[in-house]
Amino acid sequence: MAIHEISHHSEVLREPGRRLMHHVGLEFVEKKISGGGHRATNAGLSLTSMIDFLVVTVVFLLMSFSTSGEIPIAKGVTLPRVENAEDMLDAPMVAINGSQILVDGVSAGNTGAIESSDRLQKIDELFNILKAKHDLWLSTHQGKPSPGVVVLQVDQNVKAIVVKSVFQTAAFAGFPNVSFMVDIIPRSSH
């Protein structure tokens, strides 16, 4: 009985080596897998190049990662592009699109009256909102001088008279330093 078992196992135990799917009894399957004269359908996938690619992608994305997040641009505003600019800062955002003035997304007047009159005007709604923001800043930062900075998001086709009116209104409300938000382009060789 014991001798019979050993002889049985000797058929199962074989020398190690390349024997891919050869134990499958079905001949046509074996032929299919090993190619049967044609190119083998059982192809190996090299993971090295894939991992290399993933690592390079991760490194690139980590390098370009920004914690400050994206600054929302008001609808209908196409920003001008410049070469010489500085990094953005955190300040109240005044947006001027074709017809509307918005402060941090809240409506603060429209530009129609200014454009039609072609005269420099103080925009009362904008002034009140900016003054409230300025006063709030002063009350929360006791004893510190206000930086007085406001960021203007202005559509590239807006007329100078509108920009001047908003500029003047902001200055009267306690924001004499204005930063124009722009889209940056690489410096030309010029």
Residues that bind another protein (CB under 8 A): 47-48, 50-51, 54-55, 57-58, 61-62, 64-66, 68-71, 73, 78-89, 118, 120, 151, 154-161, 163-164, 167-168, 170-172, 176-185, 188, 190
Task: Name the minimum Å distance from CB 170 to another protein.
Answer: 7
Residue whose CB is less far from another protein, 46 or 140: 46
> What amino acid is encoded at 113 in this protein?
A
Q: Tokens at residue 127, please?
A: 């002034």
- Do 97 and 79 contact (CB within 8 A), yes or no? no
Task: Name the minimum Å distance from CB 36 to another protein.
Answer: 26
Instruction: Measure Cα distances from 52 to 28, 46, 107 in Å.
Output: 38, 11, 50
Task: Name the minimum Å distance from CB 40 to another protein.
Answer: 18
Residue whose CB is less far from another protein, 1 or 62: 62
Beta pairing class for 81-82 and 100-103: unpaired
CB neighbour list of residue 186: distance below 8 Å, 6 or more residues apart: 83
Residue whose CB is less far from another protein, 3 or 13: 13
